[in-house]
Structure 1
Amino acid sequence: MTSDRLQRFGDRLALPLIAAPMFLVSGVELMVAACRSGVIGSFPTANCRSTDQLDEWLTTIETRLCQHEAQTGRKAAPLCPNLIVHRSNARLEQDLAVLLRHRPEIVITSVGSPAPVVKPLHDAGALVLADVASIRHAERAAEAGVDGLVLLTAGAGGQTGWLNPFAFVRAVRAFYDGVIVLAGGISDGRALYAAEVLGCDLAYMGTKFIATRESMADDRHKRMLVDSSADDILLTTAFTGLQTSMLRPSIVAAGLDPDDLPARGAIDIARDIDVGARESRPKRWRDIWSGGHSTSGVTDVLGVDDLVARTAAEYREARAHDPP
């Protein structure tokens, strides 16, 4: 970790890694396991059905991590809620209030300008990282005073960016000296080390954490990732209106033709609450599953401890072979 902003975490991180926040995948068990293993655990606050449940999740996670510290004498890696700051998030103010009470060490903002939430989060002691998918968005987030930028690049699962990670990181590093997190295509410890060499402080790993025993993903989703490769990832706007990386086999299983999908956002599964005759229709994220280019690196379903240990061994080997 090169950034001074991350030094507060000292030796609490086994790897410069964030378990990416994933809709309907990242939950209490995954967060506890990731943080205990020395990886920053992040989850979308939208994974909670209500603000009250968000409060319950945070309390449960914090309690279990405190118990871990008491039992082992080791402080866990930080927990990092992911807050949707777009005006369409009707729970934004309420969820923010819960976060301010719990005082998380890191918060990631997504889908909109972080400007309105930066000061209150800073006042609560949190580092603020902002998701960005373009140079202009990176510039605006930096101007808003965030502590770090999560660069959403081509190859990330779910709603993704389009820029090449090499070009994106170097372009942002030319004007920004804060924390940079690379999101997209991190499949093992060697790729993680490469992200550091490129100029990043941290990286997301998402797809491989889907295929863990602790994730909330459907077991069929996990097995499909094991059986698939990067060739099975389809970039499409049909389901969300935004560029989204989805698993072709899940589209086929839902009775759709991945090579003949309707126009941008035209498939009527945008709402995850169906009634009446719509009940049998496929639902986004429940039946149409995401995956990133790192799907080729998913070879089995592991426990989080085993995944982190394996990634750490790969990372150490990559560092050891780095030429002087």
Structure 2
Amino acid sequence: MRTALTELTGVRHPIVQTGMGWVAGPRLVSATANAGALGILASATMTVEQLRAAVREVKSRTAAPFGVNLRADAGDARDRVRVIIDEGVRVASFALAPSRELIAELKDAGVVVIPSIGARRHAEKVAAWGVDAVLVQGGEGGGHTGEVATTVLLPQVVDAVDIPVIAAGGFYDGRGLVAALAYGAAGVAMGTRFLLTSDSTVPDAVKARYLAASVKDVTVTTRVDGLPHRMLRTELVADLEKSGRVASLTRAVRHAAAFRRISGMGWRQMARDGLAMRHGKDLTWSQVLLAANTPMMLKSAMVDGRPEAGVMASGQVTGLIDDLPSCAELVDRVMTEATKTLDHLHAEPEPEPEPGPGFSPSGD
């Protein structure tokens, strides 16, 4: 199935595995790439050198194209861009709009630039800056999210820009891919569906929590970092919703200290990154600290296997997922179902039966 996305990135299928922190590591990305989809390596939870090592590990596992996801507001974003260029990574994706300068630097090196956006005006802005495509996430998607549903946001963006649009938020099967193509998208991006594969390194106990969840077990809260964040309801989320300012600040400082040890970042850089994530919002200092070290809260569940002590970003589709296929099985299933759906839509209708002897339109 050739679309503007497959032509742009060189993958076989118009499917993207999103760059989920602590989840989209070398094993998942290479498995996705070998399956013919676009795997995106998450770099926000890595140091620059860890990122370089992870990129090289993916390259040792696959010769297929893949991408790296960056935080455009990170203090070392330019160093990470240099790794992408030096290592010959095909795609750079961004959780926020990158600057004109970063876009130009990447494009001059032949890297495909695909930022994620959540509003039509954001898509128009980055398109004017020269990005190659945009990934549009509707409110059904996991992690930081907006209020507008994919079915409303996607056609707005498709009509507003002349570059390929990738649809995200609420996709998990071939029917969804066909629906996105019908809206004018060039493909779909899936996070939760790839998290729930056998190639994902997320602990089995955590995957079991996802598989057991219903659609109603997914919530949106602003108490993690001050921004709307879609995730599973967990003990920690419940505590955050009920806790006062002192308890929130104490928890934030503890998590920040742990993230500082792992990332090698100084307190000043962590505070600067946290402030950058405010995006004009009136956040408390505890929320600023949490914004800078939300990765630690994700790590508790996604790496340490402690869902009761961490946050579990999740799209609403988790309530519709009940198995753990490999990436190869998942991509093959999606494409097979998409082909069958298209064949069904294109099938000629059954001819009306010819009236038999004695037939009268009036029923006489």
Q: Does 1:124 align with 2:109?
A: yes
RMSD over equivalenced CA pairs, Å? 2.4
Count of matched residue pairs:
298
Q: TM-score, normalised by structure 1?
A: 0.84
Per-residue CA deviations over 1:204-230 (Å, capped at 9, x if unaligned) read: 111011112222323222111111121
Aligned residue number for residue 351 of structure 2: none
From 324, 328, 336, the equivalent of 1:301 is: 324
Asked if structure 2 preserves the Cα contact closer than 8 Å seen for 1:238 and 1:261, the reply is: no
1:180-259 → structure 2 map (5 Å cutoff): 180-248=165-233, 251-252=234-235, 254=236, 256=238
After superposition, the C-alpha distances for 1:160-192 in whole angstroms (9 at most, x for unaligned) are 122121221221222211010111010211111
Match of 2:31 in 1: 33
- In the other structure, the counterpart of 1:46 is 44
1:138 aligns with 2:123: yes
Q: Alignment partner of 1:108: what SS?
A: strand
Aligned counterparts of 1:172 and 1:112: Cα–Cα separation in 2: 15
The alpha-carbon distance between structure 1 residues 267 and 167, as it changes in their structure 2 partners (threshold 3 A), is farther
The aligned runs of 1:27-176 (5 Å cut-off) are 27-48=25-46, 50-66=47-63, 76=64, 78-86=65-73, 89-176=74-161
Shift of 1:129: 0.8
Would the aligned equivalents of 1:179 and 1:201 in 2 still touch at CA under 8 Å? Answer: yes
Counterpart-to-counterpart distance in 2, 1:129 and 1:207: 20
Find the aligned partners of 1:304 and 1:152 in 2 and give their Cα distance: 21
Q: Evaluate the alpha carbon distance shift between residue 258 and residue 97 of structure 1 in structure 2; reply closer, same or farther with a 3 A threshold.
A: closer
Taking the aligned partners of 1:268 and 1:144, their CA distance within structure 2 comes to 41
Report if the CA contact (8 A) 1:239-1:267 is conserved.
Answer: no
One-letter amino acid matched to 1:30: L
Match of 2:345, SS state, is: coil
Using the TM superposition, name which of 202-211 and 300-309 deviates more. 300-309
Q: Percent identity?
A: 25
Contact 2:9 2:91 survives alignment (8 Å) = no
User: Once the 2 structures are TM-superposed, how far is the Cα of residue 268 of structure 1 from its aligned partner?
Assistant: 5.7
**Distance in 2 between the 1:155 and 1:320 partners?**
28
Assess if the C-alpha contact under 8 Å between 2:24 and 2:41 holds in 1: yes
